Chains A and B, each alone.
Chain A
Amino acid sequence: MEKILEVENLELSFHTFAGEVKAIRGVNFDLKKGETLAIVGESGSGKSVTTKAIMRLLPESSSEFKNGQILFDGKDLTKLTDKEMQKIRGKDISMIFQDPMTSLNPTMTIGKQIMEPILKHQKLSKIEAQKMAIYLLQLVGMPQPEQRIKQYPHQFSGGQRQRIVIAIALACNPKILIADEPTTALDVTIQAQILELMKDLQKKIDTSIIFITHDLGVVANVADRVAVMYSGKIVEIGTVDEIFYNPQHPYTWGLLSSMPSLDVQEAKLYAIPGTPPDLLDPPKGDSFALRSEYAMQIDLEEIPPFFKVSDTHYAATWLLHPDAPEVTPPATIIERMKRFPSSRYYKGANGGATK
């Protein structure tokens, strides 16, 4: 499939009073046309920073690209001028933010806010743009769009506001849509509605989506592929099935074990021990080693490269090195692997469960 975005060896730092925060420490991934890539990981792992770096929305005064490139449409986004970037934002790449209560301008009608990118990037008259805005509101399931475009954000509920933000993001048929935890701030029923809407839209429009979330349950629902981030790096990337049923990195094991599930009845939810490393002074080697019961000597000394598991599945852990000893993943993970054909624990499609 055609690649629409390639992030290569991206390194980015923030300059703060405390020193240099190495927030992104070598991120590699690509995004294919029409697919949804989920980025998961603990708070502070760099999910938002990665996507904001793609859109160049980080504060210019304190952030710095140290290395790598972001290739989009034959251009390296890290090298573009502000003017060139403005032509891409909102048109080719657009974004949905976490908190719909704060992401709309309180003193501007929502009609104007939806029309803004249309007027900016397309050669449309005001009247045509307004028609387009009404159409978009309809598309995201807002009743009575003709009246509602004249209203202000405070006249809408949280779920409705997120629909408006989605309408804005879709206004110019972007090639890439970045959704940074678009449902986290909403209550559960509304979350489900917004997710349903996004899945629906994904079928209607041919946009590649980067979907950031904490919630692995959501991932299985919306994504084609998953990238697992930890302390400024992607530690494992693969298709949803590969990540869910054949995970290789101990951090992914931890994440999956801490996910509440229906079929594995457990009294207590698992929590990954320890805290993420300080990005002011990241540890040598595998930054997860200090929290991992599977850590080996080499994990403390050298950063693991990506090992290939399949054509679509890569993981950065020394456990995949040919010389590494074979380890036994946690029981819940083995349960999962039993359903994955190329796994050594494979027991058939239903995981070996007998009726």
Chain B
Amino acid sequence: MALADTRPPVAVPVADGVHWIGALDPGLRQFDIILRTANGTSYNAYCVRGRDGVAVIDTVKENYADTFFARLESVARYDEIRAIVLNHLEPDHSGALPELMARAPQATLHISARAQATLKGVLRGEEELSRVRITTGEQASVSLGDRQLAFLQTPYLHWPDTQCTWLPDACLLFSGDVFGCHFCDARLFNDRVGDFRFSFDYYYQHIMRPFREHVLNALELIEPLAPALIAPAHGPILREAPCDYVRRYRQLAAPLLHNEAATSEKTLLVFYVSAYGATERMAQALRDGAETVEGVRVSLYDLAGGEVAPFVDLIEEADGLVFGSPTVNGDAVKPVWDLLSSLTLVNVKGKLGAAFGSYGWSGEAVGLIEDRLRGLKLRVPAAGPRARLKPTDEELRACRDFGRDLSLHLTGRIEKRIIDMAALG
């Protein structure tokens, strides 16, 4: 067994006048509750030296502040720090910020406009807040004398506040969570660490994928820069073929399957679970009704026969989603919840949503699913049909009508309704 390393932590050179001053957290197995990691993670922070002073890019999780300060002190004095840049204010990067602001009272803090609200939860003092510079307009760059840092607005990657920082003379991108992953390896650089490719993809799928549109916008800004080195806030520093990782984001952000429906056509997916065939018959009636409307491609899926992940892929591309579930013990059934709880992985905001289902004594499932869909920011235009046990002909007709109405909503051809508030009770 190797002897424990008792030397104080020091900075690691990354490029000319640029050092890594982050911290390693090899024991971490779960991040933000939802993410798993087999290799821990790292909180990467960096120090950039220019003729007239030093910039610090990001900090670390609070309980790693000592390591961060020790590494920083190995390459700079606090009174040399001119600028502190926070690419993203989540606690894993802002944990040592209050203390750093106190130790470097002359330094300005450079954050995006969207970060201001969050910052109030991190820094409380008026004096500190007066040192904030918003990284747009005239303050979209900061000078260290002979070198500049420029800011790229890359919102939602991974929070609304997120930005990237570009060091043009070194062609170096400090990318924050973008191009990061939870993979801890003390060898730091992508050409020296263990194989982290699956961690890179996993991180994209869980953190970036819900914001695909924003990823594409960010790539428009980053690709033309052709970075020679990418220094993310987690995981290996990408110095060998960094543009491969930019290209990988392009691939990951592309739709998985080409949908052969004409671009003018809307797509409606109907998912159902059926115990005794009642919800299934409702699903079929709904599908038949939906198909009577020109310009809508309707697809029907039995959730009992499929895995969640491919359905999530389909949903990402669809215009409308309908979920059919029987009510069992006053609730929708598990396969439906499993799928619904995975929808935070993709952007479903503004899609059309609906529910339906059969029941024995009470039919809560439909309302519960509709509430969940609203919570996911789908538009739920109408309360869905329910049927007790075996659906009657009339109930099946109601399902058909409902399906047709959903298609009319999708194509914008639904007749507008006018009602009086008094009639709503």
Is B truly associated with A?
no
Contacts from B to A (Cβ < 8 Å): none
Contacts from A to B (Cβ < 8 Å): none
